[in-house]
Structure 1
Amino acid sequence: MSAVNDPQVWTLIGVFTTIMLGAMTLMTVQINRTIAASINGLRGEMIGRIDGVHHRIDGLHGEMNARFDTMDTKFEHLDRDVTALSRHIWRDTTGD
């Protein structure tokens, strides 16, 4: 059995430590790259979905404006008809 103070033992300890540190460094770099790629992919997907939501909202906005314009036109006609009826009724009641 050899003692811990032999040069070969210290060389093996150094080689083992270097291999372990190198492997940990490679694993850390790969994990960081994978996480960054995943985050960027999710960010791109979310931006695409948010853009889709914006387009849908813009479409609904246009549709709502069109419907409100239609209702405004109908209310204008209704207001004109009610005014005409009111004039007709009040004219008939005051003439009696």
Structure 2
Amino acid sequence: MSDNSDNKTPGAGGRLALDVLVYTAARIALVVALTAAIYYLGKLIGITEFPLIVALLFAIVLALPLGIWLLAPLRKRATASIAAVDERRRRDREQLQARLRGKESTD
């Protein structure tokens, strides 16, 4: 584990956390924006007692498919970060198992 021959290794976990955090924040912002739009649209068309919880529930339902298309670049970046961390862990695990067997790593 003290072998730092790969320059990307130290920041991979931080990058993953940042990408997932940005994607999650974007999904929450989408729900908030849709909630506000639905709530004020209801008020605009004359519904005087439009419950905010109803607007929120509709926004969640609408945000699920909209998020797939609107947030695709963020989702792909988060998925790529997850794959990079997973690959690093797999490689580290294989190197550890090779050392435990007494074999030298070919990397």
TM-score (norm 1): 0.42
Structure number with higher relative contact order (C-alpha < 8 Å, ≥ 6 residues apart): 2
Larger radius of gyration: 1
TM-score (norm 2): 0.38
> If each structure's helix is expressed as a fraction of its own residues, which one has the higher value?
1
